[in-house]
Structure 1
Amino acid sequence: MSDVTTIAVGDDYDVLIGSGVLARVGTLLGGDVERVLVVHPPTLSVLAGRVEVALTEQGYAVHRAEVPDAEAAKTIGVAADLWALLGRAGFTRTDAVVGVGGGTVTDLAGFVAAGWLRGVRVVQVPTTLLGMVDAAVGGKTGVNTAEGKNLVGAFHPPAGVLCDVDVLATLPEADLVAGLAEVIKCGFIADPAILDLVEADPEAARRTDNPRLRELIERAVRVKAEVVAADLRESSLREILNYGHTFGHAIEQVEGYTWRHGEAISVGMVYVAELARLTGHLAGPEGEALVARHRSVLASVGLPTTYRDDRWEDLLTAMRRDKKSRGSTLRFVVLDGLARPTRLAGPSDETLRAAYGLVGTPATAAAN
């Protein structure tokens, strides 16, 4: 437990990254907490039990709530059930919620904590790569609606985040690979060393028993921590973390959330790279090389870089509902060069469609 990396998110809270650190969850709660609700999916009952034991041994009164797997957890109905549980258990403003699971669970747990009594403490214990490097860090919480992903939510920074890399050993390989999309995203927008590390040994990046993966996690968390500390409420700089997400979220919605988030974001990054090239942001041989690098580095770890070519109208409708839109104007994060993100507002429908054509593959050949 001595080998722990602590990454500060401004002056607000810390992210602890290490092996065998689950027992430290109570140290992030603070001394005035009495009751704790541990939220987890059914697949993580044993792990949640370990968190419960650690908290109980530290004197907390622990309640547990099992929520559905994946995006099915992120509904207002599930949130309402959890609020009812908090009410029955007598949770006060000095009590807390702990989210144990992937990004959907930490999003939900944070949203429930943000809403109860206008905000109680939440500690996030992400158990997926995606959760560790993205969803659990930053304080963005929310649930989905039929109209789109994360359209109802709140900014509610956690009291702390605990990343025990040992739990990734049980993560299905497809989920680990999907999480690498958010790691690679950080390489393109801020830390090119991430790309170099992945390209030097893509297989090491996919292995939970290889120290390369922990290094990638720490680098990605540092990128997000620095951006979030500078812009908690996504008023300016923080938008760069949405690189690839406008198109990626549209894929998720059109596919009924059957695509993993990272898979959709992978295609979304290729899409905005092509969009940047078409609009002159990535110009000349260097620009062409950077667009090609998107495809090569993502494909090297097993992520998709294309999407079926017969869904344009549905995708466009979904993108127009995106949170980053302003009125009828679509906004995208694009690159002016490696680690040089900027914003592109209001590209023409013809340009948007042309970029789609460059990532499209015949529907009969498309595969998730």
Structure 2
Amino acid sequence: MTETVESVLVRQWVTMPGGSMDARMGVGLAGRAGKELKSTLGTPRLAVLACTEDAPADQIELIRRSLADAGFSVERMALPSGTAALSLEAAAPVLAALDGLGATAGDGFVAVGDTGALSLASFVAKSWCNGISLMEYPLDLRAALEGSCTPLGFTVGTHPEMFAFPAATRYVYCDFELMEPSFESEEELFGRALMVCGAVADAEKAFGKLWDNIDAYMEGDAKIRATVIGDAFRSRGRVISSTSVIVRDSLGFGRTFLRALRPLVPSAVPSSSLFAEGMRFAARLAAGEGDFALDDVSAIDEMLDVFGLGYVEDAVFTPEEMAKALKAECFLRSNRFQMLTPKSFGRVRLTTLSDELLAEHAEAWVGARG
């Protein structure tokens, strides 16, 4: 029998700090919320269904019915999205709403949204009554891999991702009927960059498996898509569950570059392109120091290209401005000037950079885009 999209379902148990996350990928998952949440909580009482404004109404209704059919009293709540969700100020009204509903640790919290919304949901779920069971339905690939597994930290002042916290997700359901409209979006592209980053940080085997599946993924093969997302969850979970801080930090590969150059480039330049450029730049820094094989640099380049991740075409700043921005971003979070660079697949480490090495690579990077 030929497999159809309707039959696709991949389940992946993801190792997380202090526990595990049940990740499922496929279609028709909106109708499973109530059954799965009831199996965790036992006697159903309250389920808070928190959604962003752009969540598809028909799919939200399927989730609501599933919860109600399982015996839950369902209360709706609005979640902010994007950067508006990433602050302590955004958390306050959500916490107040849970208080008003009388939610307890024995109830369920079901969140549907983008990366910002799901990151906020993790913070709230982890904090409320020392932990309320959290189920998440991401609206795109970035939300799945980042919001559910490695939530974005909150902005403090004008500085993003300064207030960090762990994921609290018990279940994440990647329902392609929710995510399908975003398959060609910027959030999908950013999610593909996250998959590359996670594979490089995890192991050569993970990178090789992603490489083997990339063409089928790009062709839209639903089974492969589900499998690849499951593998990406597993890679990120393994890295963030390490007992070594150095290993856990390796998922920041390419992110210093992204944050540093975001203010320097036009707003039309996608963040996914900056993220990809950050990985390309870091790989070349490592190769320049003799720490990373040129063939491996080419492999990362090719994977990013096949995934459709772009480049910064024009540098509207000088090499000196680029170097200054990178150093400022590093010193914002550390007392040392270090960037994450790959030593090999599965070994991304903080590297101390000399001013001379940084100047050399910044000049080459800007010169190629001048």
1:181 to 190, 193, 203: 193
Report the number of matched residues: 352
Q: 1:361 to 1:37 in 2, by over 3 A?
A: farther
1:18 to 18, 22, 26: 26
The aligned amino acid for 2:276 is: S
TM-score normalised by L of structure 2:
0.82
Whether the aligned pair in 2 keeps the contact of 1:111 and 1:153 (CA below 8 Å) is no
Q: 1:245 to 1:99 in 2, by over 3 A?
A: same
Q: CA RMSD in A?
A: 3.0
**Are residues 1:120 and 2:127 paired?**
no
Partner-residue secondary structure (3-state), 1:321? helix
Question: How far, CA to CA, are the matches of 1:21 and 1:264 in structure 2?
Answer: 33
1:356 to 342, 362, 368: 362
Partner-residue secondary structure (3-state), 1:112? helix
Whether the aligned pair in 2 keeps the contact of 1:38 and 1:52 (CA below 8 Å) is yes
Equivalent in the alignment of 1:303: 309
TM-score normalised by L of structure 1:
0.83
Q: 1:200 to 1:162 in 2, by over 3 A?
A: closer
Equivalent in the alignment of 1:167: 178
Q: Following TM superposition, by how much is the alpha carbon of 1:80 offset from its aligned partner in structure 2, in angstroms?
A: 1.3
Q: 1:201 to 1:16 in 2, by over 3 A?
A: closer
Equivalent in the alignment of 2:342: 335
Equivalent in the alignment of 2:4: none
**Are residues 1:267 and 2:272 paired?**
no
Q: Following TM superposition, by how much is the alpha carbon of 1:315 offset from its aligned partner in structure 2, in angstroms?
A: 4.1
Question: How far, CA to CA, are the matches of 1:55 and 1:342 in structure 2?
Answer: 42
Question: How far, CA to CA, are the matches of 1:115 and 1:38 in structure 2?
Answer: 17
Q: Greater shift after overlay, 220-229 or 101-110?
A: 220-229
The aligned amino acid for 2:13 is: I
Question: How far, CA to CA, are the matches of 2:28 and 2:332 in structure 1?
Answer: 41
Q: Following TM superposition, by how much is the alpha carbon of 1:348 offset from its aligned partner in structure 2, in angstroms?
A: 2.0
**Are residues 1:87 and 2:99 paired?**
yes
2:259 to 249, 263, 269: 249
Whether the aligned pair in 2 keeps the contact of 1:35 and 1:61 (CA below 8 Å) is yes
Q: Following TM superposition, by how much is the alpha carbon of 1:271 offset from its aligned partner in structure 2, in angstroms?
A: 1.5
Q: After superposition, give the CA deviation of every residue in 1:169-202 in whole Å (9 maximum; x if it has no partner).
A: 2115133222111112233233546655666685
1:277-288 equivalent positions in 2, closer than 5 A: 277-282=287-292, 287-288=293-294
Equivalent in the alignment of 2:297: 291
Q: Following TM superposition, by how much is the alpha carbon of 1:210 offset from its aligned partner in structure 2, in angstroms?
A: 4.2
Q: 1:315 to 1:68 in 2, by over 3 A?
A: farther
Question: How far, CA to CA, are the matches of 2:355 and 2:44 in structure 1?
Answer: 52
2:166 to 155, 171, 175: 155
Whether the aligned pair in 1 keeps the contact of 2:25 and 2:175 (CA below 8 Å) is yes
Q: Following TM superposition, by how much is the alpha carbon of 1:333 offset from its aligned partner in structure 2, in angstroms?
A: 2.5
Equivalent in the alignment of 2:141: 129
The aligned amino acid for 2:301 is: R
Q: After superposition, give the CA deviation of every residue in 1:101-128 in whole Å (9 maximum; x if it has no partner).
A: 2221110111122233343332222221
Question: How far, CA to CA, are the matches of 2:137 and 2:273 in structure 1?
Answer: 23
Partner-residue secondary structure (3-state), 1:360? helix
Whether the aligned pair in 1 keeps the contact of 2:206 and 2:235 (CA below 8 Å) is no
Question: How far, CA to CA, are the matches of 2:182 and 2:84 in structure 1?
Answer: 19
Q: Following TM superposition, by how much is the alpha carbon of 1:61 offset from its aligned partner in structure 2, in angstroms?
A: 2.2
Whether the aligned pair in 1 keeps the contact of 2:138 and 2:179 (CA below 8 Å) is no
Partner-residue secondary structure (3-state), 2:240? helix
Question: How far, CA to CA, are the matches of 2:156 and 2:175 in structure 1?
Answer: 31
Partner-residue secondary structure (3-state), 1:173? coil
Question: How far, CA to CA, are the matches of 1:300 and 1:74 in structure 2?
Answer: 31
Q: 1:31 to 1:358 in 2, by over 3 A?
A: farther
Q: Following TM superposition, by how much is the alpha carbon of 1:161 offset from its aligned partner in structure 2, in angstroms?
A: 1.9
Equivalent in the alignment of 1:40: 51
Q: After superposition, give the CA deviation of every residue in 1:45-96 in whole Å (9 maximum; x if it has no partner).
A: 4133332222122122222222343222223222112112112222223233
Q: 1:244 to 1:7 in 2, by over 3 A?
A: same
Identity %: 20
Equivalent in the alignment of 2:87: 75
1:318 to 301, 305, 329: 329
**Are residues 1:227 and 2:245 paired?**
no
Whether the aligned pair in 2 keeps the contact of 1:106 and 1:135 (CA below 8 Å) is yes
Question: How far, CA to CA, are the matches of 2:14 and 2:134 in structure 1?
Answer: 16
Whether the aligned pair in 2 keeps the contact of 1:295 and 1:305 (CA below 8 Å) is no
Question: How far, CA to CA, are the matches of 1:334 and 1:262 in structure 2?
Answer: 18
